Amino acid sequence: MMSKNGVAYALVAVGMIFATGVQAASMDALQGAWTTGGTDCADTFHKVDGKIDFKDKTSSLTTGILISGDKIAGSNMSCTAGKISEQKDHLSVLLNCADSIMFQSMSMSFRVIDKDTFERMDPSFPEIAMRYHRCQL
């Protein structure tokens, strides 16, 4: 079974597919690094040969994600963005994810706040959400 952190990273990753307003955006606008509020981007990521990477790929506590093309990676898992469904005030995305032990498909919902912020949320309980911010490294 995928770890709770792996599922959280996958959820975050889906939100990266959307950059402005509540309209779906291309993955081009979402390339880069993201992390949850309260986490310093410099503690999660560093640049190696001009590319952003995780400081510690083995950490199960890292809340960051990286997006490159249609791939979304956490420190210990990776997902490929699949089908996207635009709802009234949020987006639902089908992700195909894998960690070192298993793979699974899952659906996640995201509400875009602005070009540098989104929330991972459950449409049935919108008051419970996790906010993510774009890292500028």
102-112: per-residue pLDDT in tens? 999 988 787 77
Beta strands (DSSP E) in 99-136 are 103-114, 117-122, 125-134
Q: CA angle at residue 62 from 22 to 129, to 5 degrees?
A: 35
The pLDDT tens digits for 61-104 are 778 989 787 788 888 889 988 877 777 877 777 889 998 889 99
Given a cut of 60, is residue 17 above it in pLDDT? no
**Distance of alpha carbon 106 from alpha carbon 60, whole angstroms:** 20
**Distance of alpha carbon 5 from alpha carbon 120, whole angstroms:** 14
The pLDDT tens digits for 96-132 are 999 888 999 988 787 778 889 888 888 788 788 888 8
